[in-house]
Structure 1
Amino acid sequence: MKKLNDVCIIDDDHIFIYGIKRLMKEVNFGDDILVYENGKDALNGLKLHLEAGNKLPSIIFLDLNMPIMNGWDFLNDFCKIDTSELNDTVVYIISSSVDPRDLVRIKSYPIVKDYILKPVTVNDLEVIQKEKVA
């Protein structure tokens, strides 16, 4: 299967990050994986990434519950970035929360493609990969 270019993981759980990176390697998911531990670091890092002439990641895996800046605050600020690059980026909410209010709230963000309950599986990644490279 064809690899995606850039992928971004925004999560403060080191075990989750380790696990999803191993799964990505197993299914040949992406070339470059950017990792940030909170929304603020991600926002700053992605802005610098753009300023350096790079494209935004094609996929962002975003946790909702993080210190410093949570996933909701990240989404609010990320969607305000003034670039056409946002049209090529999709966000997948990755969470261990099954709060129905979260499922309703994500619908107000067109950039959010889906909500995936942790742990992410090989099948989850393969489905995302097929959708994105199709």
Structure 2
Amino acid sequence: MLETVLCIDDDPITLMLCKMVITKASFSKEIATAKNGEEALKYFNTLNQTNSDYELKKHPQLIFLDLNMPVMGGWDFLESFSTTEYSDYNKIKVIILSSTIDPEDLEKSKKYPMVIDFLSKPISKEMLEYLKDKI
């Protein structure tokens, strides 16, 4: 079981479903959420400001990331998250969880070493079982 998972999605129903499925599958103890990439970066900036060993241990081990969101989408988040400013978190694995499986998006995701998979919404218990083996 993971300590913390971060779900980044602008749809409140998707976030609720993520929380429910992750909890029922005993996949993670804590589930943090963000409504867009900008909110997610603020979450990591807050962790950076506290800068205690406890907070670093508490950071998410896995991120479920939607691509199409207002304010800051998934690609912009990945671009920012890949910079040295967030190098403390470069071991965090990212799963792109999108409603569209565009072959171009799949190819683009390979540019980011932190992205370990590209899966279709909605999240499911079977998906989490598959991911347990992968991480």
Structures share fold, TM-score greater than 0.5? yes
**Equivalent-residue separation in structure 1 for 2:107 and 2:73 (angstroms):** 17
The one-letter amino acid of 1:17's match is L
Aligned length: 129
RMSD across aligned C-alpha pairs, in angstroms? 1.2
Question: What is the one-letter code of the residue matched to 1:106?
Answer: S
Q: Hey, what does 1:26 align to over in structure 2?
A: 24
- C-alpha deviation, 1:84, in angstroms: 3.8
Structure 2: give runs of 5+ residues left out of the alignment.
none
- CA distance in 1 between counterparts of 2:43 and 2:89 reads 15
Residue aligned with 1:92, SS: strand
Distance in 1 (CA, whole Å) between partners of 2:89 and 2:128 is: 22
Alignment partner, residue 60 of structure 1:
63
Q: Give distance in 2, aligned partners of 1:85 and 1:36.
A: 16
Could you report, residue by residue, the CA deviation over 1:62-95 in whole angstroms, capped at 9, with x for unpaired residues?
00000000000000001113434312x1000000
Assess if the C-alpha contact under 8 Å between 2:41 and 2:77 holds in 1: yes
Q: Which residue of 2 aligns with 1:16?
A: 14
Displacement of 1:98: 1.8
TM-score (norm 2): 0.90
Pick from 76, 80, 89: which aligns with 1:85?
89
1:121 maps to 124
CA contact (8 A) 1:4 1:129 kept: no
> Could you say what secondary structure the match of 1:28 adopts?
coil
> Using the alignment, how far apart are the partners of 1:13 and 1:112 within structure 2?
21
Contact 1:10 1:61 in 2 (8 A): yes
Structure 1 residue runs of 5 or longer lacking an equivalent are: none
SS of the residue aligned with 1:9?
strand
Deviation at 1:50, TM superposition (A): 2.9
The answer to whether the aligner puts 1:46 opposite 2:44 as a matched pair is: yes
Once structures 1 and 2 are overlaid, which stretch shifts more, 67-76 or 40-49? 40-49
Q: What is aligned with 1:7?
A: 5
Q: Which runs of 4+ in 1 moved over 6 A?
A: none
- Report Cα offsets for 1:34-64 as digits up to 9, x if no partner: 1000000100111212322312310000000
State how far apart, in whole Å, the 2-side matches of 1:76 and 1:101 are.
Answer: 16
